[in-house]
Amino acid sequence: MSGISEALSAMQRLCSVRECCRADILKRLKRFQLTAKEESEIIQTLEDEKFLDKRRFAGAFVRDKSTLAGWGPAKIRWQLRIKGVDEDVINDALKSISPENQDEKLVSLLSKKRASIKESSPEKVREKLIRFALSRGFEYEKILWALNKIMAKFVPD
């Protein structure tokens, strides 16, 4: 029984330091070589004691990735799906991103990226910026809006 209590204590410590999801915990529990039933019991205990909360995790993930990493909603949604978060929880968490902040972040990211591109052809610059923004998880229409806003600053002489 000490293996279970040791694993539970380790996961409680982890969850008290940062937000985790079920997938994160299951991944870390593998090193304890527990049975599936024991892993399930530990996860249930963590949820009962509020160490694990999928809504709290999704909210923290969205805030971190949108503000710190500069990800768009599509990439955030995709990553949360990979972590096994329910679609309704994802939708609720994504509502916390204000469209104005998202627009500002996109313009800022594209402006910085534009400054680093050494290409002279406006078409190629535009293509590179679109690919970059799409890889960051922003919607195509928003990207075009942001490009129109920043490309005027970089008109060649």
Q: Where are the alpha helices (DSSP H) in 49-139?
A: 54-63, 73-82, 87-94, 99-116, 122-135
Interval 4-12 mean pLDDT: 94
Instruction: Check residue 157 and give its pLDDT.
Output: 45
pLDDT per position as a tens digit, 119-150: 888 899 999 999 999 999 999 999 999 999 88
In this predicted structure, the answer to whether residue 9 has a pLDDT above a threshold of 80 is yes
Count of CB atoms situated within 10 Å of the CB of 35: 9
Mean pLDDT, range 75-104, rounded to an integer: 94
Q: How many helices (H) and strands (E) does the chain have?
A: 9, 0
2 — pLDDT class (breaks 50, 70, 90):
low
Residue 151 has what pLDDT? Answer: 76
Mean pLDDT of the chain: 92
**Element containing residue 140 per DSSP (H, E):** helix 140-151
Q: Which residues, in sequence order, are CB contacts of 40 under 8 Å at separation 6+?
A: none
Reported pTM? 0.85
